[in-house]
Amino acid sequence: MSGKMLAVASGKGGVGKTWLAISLAQALAQEGEQVLLVDGDFGLANTDVQLGLNPTLDLADVLAGRCDLAAAALPHAGGFAVLPGRSGSGALAALDSAGLARLQSVLAAARAAWPLVVLDLGAGLDPATRSLAASADTLLVVATDEPTSLTDAYAVLKLHRRDAPAADARLVVNQAADQASGLRTWATLSRACESFLGGGVPLAGVVRRDPKVPESIRRQTPLLTRHPGCTAAQDVVALARGLAQTPLAIGPGRFHHPT
């Protein structure tokens, strides 16, 4: 049975997308899932930097046929595996149709080997990123309360509904001042989707602003390892558990819609 793929996207950079993908991968692993985190942020791959890894092989090597997926996937002490990208390289940003097809094949192989793949997509709306988002079982769009972030998140959702009309896409509000503020941010975007796209966007969760987040990034240590009881860590754990309780949920294994 093929595993599921959960993609994490944003319309703009600086909203904490990669940090959320890493933290969510660890939270899901702690819930008992076998997780592979794939850095699909073309040209600006940095999951290895945030995790303090120094990989000798990466996704570019797999695409070029220099190694297989198993050789490039690194186990992490947080309980998940990581397929790193190539930090500071623009090689993946220029994928042609053949390269994109190879990447899709790698992701298919990942889904065959791991019950759950968490894919950290690049910020933006380029065709390769949109194609990967459309192939995911669930797309999480990360936004903050900044107007530019909301505008860009709306654009991601608009194009995603065009690319994959029946797809499961949800919003994560990150860096919220508090839960109420996060809910207001979601309501603002959902109303716009309701008015212009024919339906609102479900809320996957709110992650509150927490000074422990930038501190853990500077230490190149996952938040749930360094500060497991902090506010943002609690919110990410709640997000992971919430994903398990809804249709089209990530799985298989423990992640299924309850009957």
Give the pLDDT confidence score for residue 92 in this predicted structure.
53
- Residue 5, classed as helix, strand or coil, is strand
The alpha-carbon radius of gyration of the chain (Å, integer) is 17
Q: Where exactly are the structural domains of the chain? A: 4-243
What span, in angstroms and rounded, lies between the C-alpha atoms of 96 and 217?
33
Give the pLDDT confidence score for residue 253 in this predicted structure.
35
Give the pLDDT confidence score for residue 96 in this predicted structure.
80
What span, in angstroms and rounded, lies between the C-alpha atoms of 218 and 214?
6
* pLDDT tens track, the chain, 259 positions: 579 999 999 988 889 999 999 999 999 999 999 999 999 887 778 899 999 999 999 998 998 899 999 999 999 999 999 999 876 555 555 678 888 899 999 999 999 999 999 999 988 888 888 999 999 999 999 999 999 999 999 999 999 999 999 889 999 999 999 999 999 999 999 999 999 999 999 999 999 999 999 999 999 999 999 999 999 999 999 999 998 776 544 443 333 322 2
- CATH code for the part of the protein at 4-243: 3.40.50.300
Give the pLDDT confidence score for residue 87 in this predicted structure.
64
- The pair phi, psi for residue 87, each rounded to 5°, is -60, 135
Region class of 226: left (phi > 0), else alpha (psi between -120 and 50), else beta: alpha
What span, in angstroms and rounded, lies between the C-alpha atoms of 192 and 200?
7
- Residue 29, classed as helix, strand or coil, is helix
